[in-house]
Chains A and B, each alone.
Chain A
Amino acid sequence: MIRFFLTKLLYLVPTFLGITIIAFGFVRVLPGDPVLLMAGERGLSPERHAELAAQLGFDRPLWQQYLDFLGRLLHGDLGNSLVTKKPVLTEFLALFPATLELAFVAIVIATVIGVPVGVLAAIKRGSWFDQISMTVALVGFSMPIFWWGLLLIIFFSGTLGWTPVSGRISLMYFFPPVTGFMLIDSLLSGQKGAFASAVSHLILPSIVLATIPLAVIARQTRSAMLEVMGEDYVRTAKAKGLPFRRVVMVHALRNAMIPVITTIGLQVGVLMAGAILTETIFSWPGIGKWMIDSISRRDYPVVQSGLLLIAGLVMIVNLLVDLTYGLINPRIRRR
């Protein structure tokens, strides 16, 4: 198991290096220039432009800038934002809990609903439940997040007035962040009603963010279950006279879980992408919105280091998923 773990860990090194190149290259491939964006309509004389570019280190050859970036990275220095002038890591750490909280709740919603729906659709294949749930899943998968979010806001917050429009907690509550997770901080603050307010603010954004993963997980569970239910050992288990419930929950589901867990792991990447739009609509102060702002301002250090941090995170989650396979299926860890 340790060897399995170490091999997996070793694979991360070239992947991570590759990501540094992509992260560094991506924002520079985009047309546009942070110095010019700062000047706006006023324009900038070529001399002043050169002066500012030199001050920011953009006048040097790209490979040199890249090596510089890599070198500082090894020292744990992710650079400073061009806009706020603050260290990228400080900003990331301030914003990341908000995204994590939202993504965590979303993935829990997606899994808790998605897996049972998929299982049920598989064992009742062809039934009205199967047909309807899979159609809804297809619609959910194709839903434009921005439009979907706005629709929910207008209906639930605007028309019905059940949920707040946006933000993480009502403005009447004011306490310094301790963990950065509003659900926990609101409890720690001891202020009456703070936790309920935090929960009510989380409902719509987490539903919006969960929509696509939920659809994917439900469909993946269904197809994995269908495959497993046709296997010989399941037929044998049925023939032995085991209760159907036990056949499904223990024999079939456990084996069907491997592709499902892979899918759930892959959804972390989807969640990060979805967070960008969800956070923008719901004014959720997380890293998705931060990345969007930074890309539009061509804030190179934030975009490259931010991408790196997010990619690193997705990599770690995938590693954990790999390890989970080992736990679920002993054959994998012995290979």
Chain B
Amino acid sequence: MRRMSRSLIAASILALCAAMPAAAKTFVYCSEASPEGFDPAPYTAGTTFDASAHAVYNRLAQFKPGTTEVEPALAESWEVSEDGLEYTFHLREGVKFHSNDKFTPSRDFNADDVIFSFMRQASTDDPWHQYIPGITYEYYDAMEMPDLVKEIVKVDDHTVKFVLNRPEAPFLANIAMPFASIVSKEYADTLAEAGTKEDLNNLPIGTGPFRFVAYQKDAVIRYQKNADYWGEAPKIDDLVFAITPDGSVRLQKLKAGECHLMPYPAPADLDSIRADDSLKLDEQPGLNVAYLAYNTTVAPFDNPKVRKALNMAINKQAIIDAVFQGAGQIAKNPIPPTMWSYNDAIEDDPYDPDTAKAMLEEAGASGLSMKIWAMPVQRPYMPNARRTAELMQSDLAKVGVNAEIVSYEWGEYLKKSTEVNRDGAVILGWTGDNGDPDNFMGVLLSCAATGDGGANRAQWCNEDFSKLLSEAKTTNDIAERTRLYEEAQVIFKEQAPWDTLAHSTQFVPMRADVTGFVMSPLGDFAFDTVDLAE
């Protein structure tokens, strides 16, 4: 009876939703946080991209749904010059921008929009660079675009050429990232004339599958299907983001039928979701890695033998079971197994406390004392760093290593962990931005990323490894790049700057009647393919 009344209510709510204007199909997504704004370029949060880049905008190239493979989007095709320095994009014709109360486009998407979208980020002289005071373009910077892009040339209305300073294979993947979303130049001009430039960030106009309708801060975002969409039009008519920050409340809403799909369920709730007939659960390995980074510039951790011995002393399976509650797998490489160039031939260092102890003695490091840094927050790649550190501590005690656990406030942690003279090994992780192996190994392990403030928290600079990465970056031949990255992973494993801990699994619970949702390895939530079964 109880179950029946609940599902009756759920059904009636959904029926009411469905009974909205002209029996429109409304899809409600219980998102986890408010977007920072609706212009994807100045922001870095995934929530913001779900609400802006993935719903409202398109890019020249895009990730094929469910993969990290790059496919044409607003550019129908492209050519790369022999030397890898020139990318010529042929733009799709007849693509319409959305309209709103303030703006109705008079022309289709063209090369001016592309140039505008990039130049406002690239050039400090561009009148739109600081259209909101204090704005910064973090992703454009982080992907090294300022150093990389020499110039952007309009060949004709439907052809744009990017000239690079050096060959860079991940460039196309960068172009598919949210920060590279194409905004309308004509809309920007209209806003500039009206003196309301900030509306570019408040009332977005894009070419994407959904048209922005309204945002009530911290509560609801509303979108409508873009009937003129150049791609396959969405099957739902209205898309609503109901912002629900608490994970348990999100699940209650999903169960009550107040929304159709939610992100980030608590691991403890997974069983109850599986047991509920009105719900279903999608899962896939996340594009992430959790690691323990030694400081390889400080003795005795400058000795690979010591690092390897410590890796062998830590029982990773126990961490997967206790901390990830099974929602993860042991990591042996710095990149996740779903990524191309993953070297599956590599053998992980086995859990073997006896050998570890002997190796430590051999290296003259028995009775070692060390610190383990445990981050204070939960991240998609690490549900509980403190618990992980405690498990490591007890494992290390068994081989005679005395480990002390330290932690700092999150911002401090991020900063102090990059200090060159840091004392201790750091638990941290990474979630991929664009699916390119360089976005893991280059960002986290290259020589260029060492030093104060760099993301190479092992301070590990191996010339051979870095050389392989540089070579791999300068060729567009995937087979060749794969070979180079595979080789790099061999060096990584021999040198063991990290203990690679885990790749976590992502879960997306949804109502049983939701069809067509495709999980993104990049953790994006896009709804252009979803539908509700009748």
Contact A45/B453 with A32-B409, A85-B133 known, Cβ cut-off 8 Å = yes
- A177 neighbours in B (Cβ, 8 Å): 216
Q: Give min CB distance, A239 to chain B, whole Å.
A: 58
User: How long is the Cα–Cα vector from A43 to B459 in the complex, in angstroms?
Assistant: 13
Neighbouring B residues of A46 by C-beta, 8 Å: 452-453
Residue in contact with B132 in the complex, picked from A31, A40, A43, A85, CB distance below 8 Å: A85
Asked whether any CB of chain B lies closer than 8 Å to the CB of A101, the reply is: no
* In the complex, residue of chain A having the shortest beta-carbon distance to the beta carbon of B381: A41
CA distance A208 to B451 in the complex (A): 50
Pick from B225-233, B327-335, B410-418, B514-522 the stretch touching chain A. B410-418
Extra inter-chain contacts (13) besides given A159-B6, A164-B258, A167-B242, CB under 8 Å: A30-B409, A37-B414, A46-B452, A80-B133, A160-B2, A161-B5, A166-B244, A166-B249, A167-B258, A171-B240, A281-B249, A283-B243, A289-B218
Of the 9-residue stretches B108-116, B134-142, B165-173, B355-363, which lies at the interface with chain A?
B134-142
Whether A41 contacts B218 in the complex (CB less than 8 A), given A82-B134, A157-B256, comes out as no
A161 to B222, CA, bound (A): 26
Give me 22 A-to-B residue pairs in the complex whose CB atoms sit less than 8 angstroms apart, sorted by A's number: A32-B409, A32-B412, A36-B414, A37-B410, A38-B44, A38-B138, A41-B430, A41-B455, A43-B449, A43-B453, A43-B454, A45-B453, A56-B134, A85-B132, A153-B249, A157-B256, A165-B252, A170-B13, A170-B16, A171-B17, A176-B214, A283-B242
Complex Cα gap A84–B217 (Å): 11
Q: Is the CB of A283 within 8 A of B219?
A: yes
Nearest CB on A from B147, distance (A): 13
Q: Is A136 an interface residue (CB 8 A)?
A: no
Residues of chain A from 159 to 190 with CB closer than 8 A to chain B in the complex: 159-161, 164-168, 170-172, 174, 176-177
Q: How far is the CB of B499 from chain A (nearest CB, A)?
A: 17
Nearest-CB distance from A193 to chain B (Å)?
A: 9
In the assembled complex, the Cα of A159 lies from the Cα of B256 at a distance in Å of: 9
- For A85, the closest partner residue in chain B by CB is B132
Task: State how many angstroms separate the Cβ of B427 from the closest Cβ of chain A.
Answer: 12
A13 contacts the other chain (Cβ, under 8 Å)? no
The listed residue with most B CB atoms (<10 A of its CB), out of A32, A34, A52, A282, is: A32
Provide the bound-state CA to CA distance between A27 and B237, in Å.
44
A298 beta carbon closer than 8 Å to chain B: yes
Chain A residues with Cβ below 8 Å from B453 are: 43-46, 48-49
Interface residue ranges of B327-354 to A (CB < 8 Å):
none
Contact B430 A150 (CB under 8 A): no
Residue of A nearest to B258 (CB): A165
Most chain A beta-carbon contacts within 10 A, residue among B19, B214, B252: B252
Residues of B within 8 A of A36 (CB): 411, 414-415
Q: Is A9 interfacial (CB-CB < 8 Å)?
A: no
> B245 on the interface (CB 8 Å rule)?
yes
With a cutoff of 8 Å between Cβ atoms, the chain A residues found around residue B258 in the complex are 164-167, 171
Answer yes or no: A327 CB below 8 A from chain B CBs.
Answer: no
- Interface positions of A from 56 to 86, Cβ below 8 Å from B: 56, 80, 82-86
Question: Are A41 and B20 touching (Cβ within 8 A)?
Answer: no
Contact string against A for B residues 19-36, beta-carbon threshold 8 Å, 1 for contact and 0 otherwise: 110000010100001101
* Inter-subunit contact B253/A166 (CB<8 Å): yes
A227 proximal to B (CB < 8 A)? no
B246 within 8 A of A: yes
Residue of A nearest to B415 (CB): A36
Query: Across the interface, do A154 and B252 meet the contact criterion of CB distance under 8 Å?
Result: yes
Please tell me if the beta carbons of B36 and A165 are within 8 angstroms of each other in the complex: no
Chain B residues in contact with chain A, CB under 8 A? 2, 5-6, 8-9, 13, 16-17, 19-20, 26, 28, 33-34, 36-37, 42, 44, 132-136, 138, 141-142, 198, 201, 214, 216-220, 222, 240, 242-246, 248-249, 252-253, 255-256, 258, 408-412, 414-415, 418, 428-430, 443, 449, 451-455, 457
Contact B249 A33 (CB under 8 A): no
* A164-B256 contact, Cβ under 8 Å, with A48-B141, A290-B218: yes
* CB neighbours of A80 from chain B (8 A): 133-134
Within 8 Å of chain B (Cβ to Cβ): is A158? yes
- A55 interface hit (Cβ, 8 Å): yes
- A288 CB to nearest B CB, Å: 10
| Assembled-state Cα–Cα distance A56/B218 (Å) | 25
| Chain A contacts to B: CB under 8 angstroms | 30-34, 36-46, 48-49, 52, 55-56, 80, 82-86, 91, 94-95, 150, 153-154, 157-161, 164-168, 170-172, 174, 176-177, 280-283, 285-286, 289-290, 293, 298
| CB–CB B252/A293 < 8 A | no
- A84:B37 contact, CB within 8 angstroms: yes
A46 to B419 Cα, complex, angstroms: 11
Indicate if the CB atoms of B136 and A52 lie closer than 8 Å. yes
Given known pairs A41-B429, A56-B134, the reply for A165 and B44 (CB within 8 Å) is: no
Whether B222 lies near A174 (C-beta < 8 A) is: yes
Is A95's CB under 8 angstroms from B218's CB?
A: yes
Residues of A within 8 A of B42 (CB): 85
- Known contacts A171-B220, A289-B245: does B17 contact A31 (CB below 8 Å)? no
Given the complex of chains A and B, what is the CA–CA distance between A150 and B247 in angstroms? 11
Contacts of B16 in A (CB 8 A): 170, 172
Least CB distance from A188 to B in Å reads 16
- Cross-chain contact of B249 among A150, A172, A290 (Cβ < 8 A): A150
Please name the residue on chain B nearest to A154 by beta carbon: B252
Please state if A161 and B253 are interface contacts (CB–CB under 8 Å). no
CA distance A282 to B244 in the complex (A): 8
- Pairwise interchain contact A285-B217, C-beta atoms closer than 8 A: yes
Given the contacts A172-B17, A281-B249, A40 and B414 also touching, CB distance less than 8 Å: yes
A22 to B17, CA, bound (A): 47
Complex alpha-carbon distance, A56 and B428, angstroms: 28
Verify B26–A171 contact, CB threshold 8 A.
yes
Which residue from B19, B216, B408, B414 sits with its C-beta under 8 Å from A41? B414
User: In the assembled complex, which residues on chain B have CB atoms less than 8 Å from the CB atom of A153?
Assistant: 249, 252
Given contacts A46-B452, A177-B216, A280-B246, A40 and B252 within 8 Å (CB-CB): no
Known interface pairs A42-B142, A43-B414, A46-B452; A94-B217 also in contact (CB < 8 Å): yes
Q: How far is the CB of B229 from chain A (nearest CB, A)?
A: 22
Contact assessment for B217 and A40 in the assembled complex, using a CB-CB cutoff below 8 Å? no
**Alpha-carbon separation in the docked complex, A36 to B256 (Å):** 39
Q: Does A283 contact B414, Cβ atoms closer than 8 Å?
A: no
Instruction: Please measure, in the bound complex, the distance between the C-alpha atom of A157 and the C-alpha atom of B250, giving whole angstroms.
Output: 12
Contacts of B220 in A (CB 8 A): 167, 171
B135 surroundings in chain A (CB, below 8 A): 85
Among B198, B418, B457, residue most surrounded by chain A Cβ atoms (within 10 Å): B418
The complex places the Cα of A281 from the Cα of B255 at a distance, in Å, of 16
| Closest partner residue, chain B, to A159 (CB atom) | B2
Q: Which residue of A43, A84, A158, A164 is within 8 Å of B6 (Cβ)?
A: A158
**Residues from chain B with Cβ under 8 Å of A283 in the complex:** 218-219, 242-246, 249
